[in-house]
Amino acid sequence: MVPKLLGWSKERIAKRVGELLELIGLDEAQYANKYPYELSGGEAQRVGVARALAADPPALLMDEPFGAVDPLMRSVLQDEFLSIQRKLKKTVVFVTHDLDEAIRIGDRIAVMKDGKLVQYDTPEAILASPANSFVRDFVGSDRALKRLSRFDVMSGMKKPFYVFCDDGIEEVRKRVKDKKLRYLWVVEKDLRLIGWIDMKNIDSAGSMEEVITKSGIKNICIREYASLREALSRMLSEGVKVVPIVNSNGSLVGEVSLSDIEAITEEVG
């Protein structure tokens, strides 16, 4: 609609539609001719971002764009927004009442009270040095935990040690003999993560099938652009001290442990 109002040709509009659908991760052949009522809530939110970008404006105003979706979808859409923003590198004025969202997404935050600017600074500075009691109460007592939202898991990621699912059990024992590992990731040939091995069971196992745990693997996986706060939350909810990091294809790219997060917390605390 916006390019049409600006007098763009049909060819130029069609090309731009294709570019934007690719950018937001929706298949052009499937979605280009759909009506709004045919979209899910998440798809509609993505298309909303694409619509705002249609005429390639120099800046965007987003007024609580994720406020109407459930918490799980909100987190997914925040990830999508950050991914798109990394490609666009555009200035976005993002209005929200959710401090966690502002900390996670913003480069700088303006805290408002009664129509007046109370503090304008980086998320790190606001969390570390609130300007007054209002800001201090607003950010809450868990400021150190909130600061973990400013770091993605890549900042604490380590190279994972893994084996292939079709490796022989004896070969695996030899490879890990001198390594102090509690858990061992198991992947397909394309590095797609399918499970893990508890090392305390490997010496008595007769085959790989006996020791690979596949159930629950999706519950502990973290995407590569997730925050350290999300990683910590996942560890606590699943009762583990290390979580695997995967890309959009489900391929293993790294791991982050509780001790890694503690080290970063000490550095920034």
180, 192, 248, 181: which is closest to 217 by C-alpha? 192
pLDDT band at residue 269 under the 50/70/90 scheme? low
**Is residue 94 scored above 60 in pLDDT?**
yes
pLDDT band at residue 45 under the 50/70/90 scheme? confident
Same domain, 51 and 183: no
Same domain, 86 and 137: yes
Same domain, 8 and 131: yes
**Is residue 160 scored above 60 in pLDDT?**
yes
Same domain, 167 and 140: no
Label residue 203 exposed, middle or buried (CB < 10 Å: 0-12, 13-18, 19+): exposed
How many domains in the chain? 2
pLDDT band at residue 49 under the 50/70/90 scheme? confident
In the prediction, which pLDDT does 266 show? Answer: 67
Same domain, 217 and 133: no
Same domain, 115 and 184: no
β-bridge pairing 242-246 and 252-257: antiparallel
CB-CB contact of 229 with 149 (8 Å): yes
Q: Is 0.75 surpassed by the pTM of this model?
A: no
Q: Which domain holds residue 160?
A: 154-268
Q: Which CATH number goes with the domain that contains 37?
A: 3.40.50.300
CA dihedral sign of residues 232, 234, 239, 243: negative
Q: Which of 124-128, 142-146, 197-201 has the lowest mean pLDDT?
A: 142-146
Same domain, 91 and 197: no
Among the three residues 90, 117, 146, which one is the final residue of a domain in this structure?
146
